[in-house]
Amino acid sequence: MDTLLSWDKALFLWLNGLGSNSFDGFWMFMTHRASNLIVYLGLWLFFGFRYSWKAAGYLLVFTGLLILCTDQLTNLFKNQVGRLRPCYDEEIKTLVRLVKPSCGGRYSFFSGHASNSFALAVFFGHLFRKHYRFIFPILLFVAFLIAYSRVYIGVHFPLDIIVGALAGSLIGLGFYRLWTVVSPRFFKLS
């Protein structure tokens, strides 16, 4: 396990060190919660116009539960595992290129940004894939950018991102399956 964590730190330092002032603004935008909000608010509005506002209301509640689930799981892991963020890690904190003014909470494993982004991407990607095949890879790419932004700005290790992405993807898939069972009881999508 120590070897894996050592590789993770080395990979983090290499990836984080690739950053430059020219791209900091873009990555700060990607790491901001607004990047997810813009994408999924747009998809929610499209869903409401395409199907019905009643269905969109259920989708909004369902999406809120999905985010609540990923957030709570992330917090549980962060508090139980207790892995320090790179900017708090005594071994490497002087080498970290911290782009934002503060480091955030003390613990990093696993990334809430990665889990939320991938959960939303998988859920909405499956929701729209029947009619819009291109949407799924686009949403996964956006989720990847959001997740990677956490390494770029210096607040998460790559392993935090990978595990967060996997956990979020599984939660997103689970919620989509639940949606397919529950939604027909409340409304009909055509």
Question: Mind listing the pLDDT tens digit for each residue in 1-11?
Answer: 789 888 999 99
- From residue 54, how far is each of 37, 45, 129 by CA, in Å? 20, 12, 21
Task: Give the pLDDT of residue 58.
Answer: 92
In total, the chain counts a number of residues equal to 190
Which segment of 129-133, 151-155, 161-165 scores lowest on mean pLDDT? 129-133
Q: Are 148 and 141 in contact (CB under 8 A)?
A: no
**60 to each of 24, 57, 136, 160, 181, how far by Cα in Å?**
32, 5, 19, 28, 17
Hunting for tokens 């934002």 — which residue is that?
A: 100
pLDDT of residue 36: 83
| Residue 53 three-state SS | helix
Please give the residue that has the higher pLDDT: either 187 or 93. 93
Residue 189 banded pLDDT, cuts 50, 70, 90? low
Whole-number Cα distances in Å, 111 to 7, 126, 142, 157, 172: 18, 23, 16, 9, 15
pLDDT tens column, 22-55: 999 999 999 987 888 899 999 999 999 988 898 8
Mean pLDDT score, 146-159: 96
119 vs 171: CA distance, rounded Å:
6
Is pLDDT at 71 greater than 70 in this prediction? yes
- pLDDT of 188 higher than 90: no
Q: Closest Cα to residue 73, out of 109, 46, 48, 102?
A: 109
- CA of 141: how far to CAs of 58, 96, 122, in Å? 26, 25, 11
- Rounded Cα distance between 67 and 71, Å, is 6
Asked whether the beta carbons of 168 and 119 are under 8 A apart, the reply is yes
